[in-house]
């Protein structure tokens, strides 16, 4: 999608701190980290949020989680949290499906 920030990041049109990339997925450090380790995993294909996952595009979610496992393994991170905010009331500010990966500190539950 031409006006989507995360599509531009995945295409290399906006700079980012890459931590992982394959043919379907891109991962990069969050610009406003909420933990010592905080990166975002996105499908290169534009999907607005978890609410837009269908049987036709669900394979990208598996690819995202494969990327999460590989990236955390490579970082030596064993304990981490994966979060996806869906919709403004849930805290989503960028309308392109993304998974936050947070680690390096104790996590409280439930999230605010
Ligand atoms: P959310 O609020 O769940 O939609 O998450 C969007 C995340 O994108 C936030 O944690 C932002 O800090 C992060 N973010 C926004 N712009 C950028 C950027 N240019 N590079 C890296 N992370 C970004």
pLDDT digits (tens, 9 = 90+) for 35-91: 999 999 999 999 999 999 999 999 999 999 999 999 999 999 999 999 999 999 999
Query: Which residues are annotated as catalytic?
Result: 98
Q: Average of pLDDT values for 13-22? A: 98
- Mean pLDDT over each residue of the chain, to the nearest integer: 97
Res. 112 pLDDT band, cuts 50 70 90: confident
pLDDT (0 to 100) of residue 78? 97
Which residues have CB under 8 Å from 111's CB, separation 6+? 83
CA separation for the pair 58, 37 (Å, rounded): 26
Is the full-model pTM beyond 0.85?
yes
Query: Could you tell me the distance, in angstroms and rounded to a whole number, from the CA of residue 30 to the centre of ligand 1?
Result: 6
Query: Could you tell me the distance, in angstroms and rounded to a whole number, from the CA of residue 32 to the centre of ligand 1?
Result: 7
- pLDDT > 80? residue 1: no
């Amino acid at each position: 999608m031409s006006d989507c920030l995360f599509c531009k990041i995945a295409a290399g049109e906006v700079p980012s701190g890459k931590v992982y990339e394959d043919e379907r997925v891109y991962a990069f450090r969050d610009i406003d980290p909420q933990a010592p380790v905080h990166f975002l995993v996105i499908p290169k294909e534009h999907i607005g949020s978890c609410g837009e996952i269908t049987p036709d595009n669900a394979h990208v979610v598996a690819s995202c989680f494969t990327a999460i496992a590989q990236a955390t393994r490579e970082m030596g991170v064993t304990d981490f949290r994966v979060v996806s905010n869906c919709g403004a009331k849930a805290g989503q500010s960028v309308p392109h499906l993304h998974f936050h990966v947070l680690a390096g500190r104790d996590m409280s539950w439930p999230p605010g």
